[in-house]
Amino acid sequence: MGDLKKILKLTAGVGEELIRCGAEISRVEDTMNRIALHYGVTGRQIFIISNGVFVNLEKGEEAKNVSFQHIPQISVDMSKLCELNSLSRDIEQMDLSLDQALARFECVRGGKKKNIWQYIAASGVGAGSFCYLFGGDAKDCFGALLMGLILWFFFTAVERYRLPKVVLHTLGGILATSGCIFLLRLGLVNHLEQTIMGSIIPMIPGVAFVNGIRDIADSDYISGSIRLLDAMLIFICIAAGVCIAFRLFGMGGV
Amino acid sequence: MGLLLETAAAFVGTIAFGILFVVPSSQFLVCGLVGGIGWVVYAVTLANSSAAVASFMATVVIVLLARILAVVRKVPTNVIMIPGIFPIVPGIGLYDMIYNLMIGDTASGVSQGLAVLKAIGAIVFGIIAVFSLPNRWFRKRPKIVARR
């Protein structure tokens, strides 16, 4: 593999992974420019939107190399974000060679083995403590904790079917709300609204929302509006799920 | 006492969201502290003012802390900021809005929706305000190496 090809592989790969794990556009752009400059390209054109990376690198008069990457799905992973960040810092400060940097990048891209029970527990604990913040009492918190566990277990179980986001979050809303209504009828929780809000909070698209705002603040308007639309769509799906569940149980009006 | 328990809940909840977003375990304590401090600011301001002002103040404190700590801990700002901002999401307002719109009480639904929109607008404005501060205010000063 030629030198320029390797630089391109590293630059485009880092950009792709950064977007995938939840970085804002300006960071991706900055990191890619730094890496390309450090390995001495003579010309570079980089364009990034929230689901694609376009790079053209030049070295000398003749050699040119172009890469287009489509990034259809985002899976938030802040550990990967930290590791890519320190990789780019080390490339500049410790002067890593191209092969060393590529080897370390492949290692980061591979990721770590994830323990699903850890996430299920976190979803439960998060739902329970947020239910308390919304003003629920001890019984409501335990109800929300239970529903948070069940909700994430459901998400983990259906992950391999690759359901569309819309369907997934509507089903999640239905599941959490019907579970809460069930718990209320059994007398295990006292306040329906705090319990429901607590149990659906693990689904709230916080990363898309915050990144959307940051992109707009950096005047990356296209990526920002796409991300805010994404967050809004997910929120509407959750709300629709809640309404469907209320109707199924014959609660709430006509 | 109530505030103490709520702050503890915000601390634990923020760390739980940190785990969901796969934040490295070395940053859990920082995330939790930022979430807890944000909630204290929110609760104290809410007692003396409106929800929108409280959301704005809390967001400014959270994002400012996240930017400072991100430099100290050498991690991207998102790692600390995104979990930390969750406790001030206007959850109950959102629920009331959806519920009232669903049962056909459009008037209260819309008025609650506007209240939620104000709170979210305040959060957005807070994030944008802190990110418009120039980067060099947060950069660490380069260490001065003594030369002989």
> Which pairing describes strands A43-49 and A63-70: parallel, antiparallel, or unpaired?
unpaired
Does the pLDDT at position B143 exceed 60? no
Q: Please give the residue of chain A at the shortest CA–CA distance from B85.
A: A206
The span from the CA of A192 to the CA of A180, in Å, is 7
Return the domain boundaries, chain B: 2-137
Question: What residues of chain B lie within 8 A of the CB of A242, using their CB?
Answer: 98, 102
State mean pLDDT over A52-72: 85
* pLDDT digits 0-9 by tens, A131-150: 999 988 999 999 999 999 99
* Identity at B5, one-letter amino acid code: L
pLDDT for A65: 83
DSSP A41-101: -SEEEEEEETTEEEEEEEETTTEEEEEEEE-------HHHHHHHHHHHHHHHHT---HHHH
Cα B108 from Cα B126, distance rounded (Å): 27
Confidence of residue B79 (pLDDT cuts 50, 70, 90): very high
Q: Which of A170, A22, A171, A13 is nearest to B78 (CA)?
A: A22
Residue A20, classed as helix, strand or coil, is helix
Question: Quick one: pLDDT band at residue B141, thresholds 50, 70, 90?
Answer: low
Closest CA to B83 of B135, B25, B13: B13
* Residue B90: partners with Cβ closer than 8 Å, 6 or more residues away: B51, B55, B115, B116, B119, B120
Q: Identify the pLDDT of residue A61.
A: 73
A245 near A200, Cβ under 8 Å?
Answer: no
Check pLDDT > 80 for residue A126: yes
User: Given an 8 Å threshold on Cβ–Cβ distance, is A214 in contact with B75?
Assistant: no
Decide if pLDDT at A254 tops 60: no
What is the interface pTM, i.e. ipTM, of the complex?
A: 0.89
Which residue's structure tokens are 């418009």?
Answer: B132
Which of chain A's residues have a Cβ under 8 Å away from the Cβ of B34?
none
CA distance B119 to B93: 9
Across the range A183-212, mean pLDDT stands at 92
Which region among A63-72, A202-211, A225-234, B80-89 has the lowest average model confidence (pLDDT)? A63-72
Residue A252, pLDDT score: 59
> Looking at the partner chain, which of A22, A214, A253 has a beta carbon nearest the beta carbon of B131?
A214
Q: Kindly report each contact of residues A161-166 with a partner whose C-beta sits within 8 Å and lies 24 or more positions away, as own/partner.
A: A165/A233, A165/A234, A165/A237, A166/A233, A166/A237
Chain A residues touching residue B10 (CB < 8 angstroms):
129, 133
Q: In angstroms, rounded to a whole number, what is the distance separating the alpha carbons of residues B83 and B19?
A: 9
pLDDT digits (tens, 9 = 90+) for A202-228: 999 999 999 999 999 988 999 999 999
**A15 C-beta neighbours (distance < 10 Å), count:** 28
